[in-house]
Amino acid sequence: MSLPSTKRIVGYVRVSTSRQAEEGFSIAVQRERIAQYVQALDLGELVEIVVDEGESAKDLKRPGMERLLGMVRRREVDMVVVAKLDRATRSMRDLLGLVATFERYRVEFASIAERLDTSSAAGRFFVGMLGLVAEWERSATCERTAVVARKLTRDGRAIARTAPYGARIVEREVMTSKGPAIRQFVEADPERRAELEAVELARSLRAEGLSIGEIRKRLVSAGFRNRN
């Protein structure tokens, strides 16, 4: 299949209800910036400008954005241009997802305010740095969560709605810096001792090389049942 001789460019503009009247964010201003950008750099043909009016950027579930992504997947566009990154999304995760989708379908992406253009080495480097920052944020969040979970576990506090096998969650009144408070704790439950036996049997069967399905059948035949 031959590629089109002229680059097909689609602009995307968005305004949220609370910011429609703000200078620099109106639909008209965004349209003009995109048109001038495409013309000044002679990028190709601006075939359409997709609009999301009165839509927030909390996620990508917006009529205009979904339509734009549909065009990308149908390979009806070669480049997407926005006036500012936060017009497309305010989430770094969603931004990286968008860029990944564009790359998969060989669609270039440009944001005028940030001077971002993934057709250039500098633009691809910028996106790569965003990915590294996002990965660092995820790792830092996991580390903080793990530290809190370990402390709660040492204190016997519940860290999930469901108790571990062989245990139960109970509520107790404790004194805090703000006075009495109800907290949930984990304690052994004699009535659930069979759960621990099931876990030990499952581990030994797994060590013998049995599959998950085979282990399930052995547990059922041995009379063990899950909590449901």
Catalytic residue numbers read 16
* CA–CA distance, 210 with 215 (Å, rounded to integer): 6
123 close to 117: Cβ distance less than 8 angstroms: yes
Number of Cβ within a 10 Å radius of residue 81:
24
**Measured distance CA(37)–CA(22) in Å, rounded:** 21
Strands (E), the chain: 8-15, 45-53, 79-82, 108-111, 116-117, 167-176, 179-188
Please state, in angstroms and rounded to a whole number, the distance separating the CA atoms of residues 202 and 182. Answer: 36
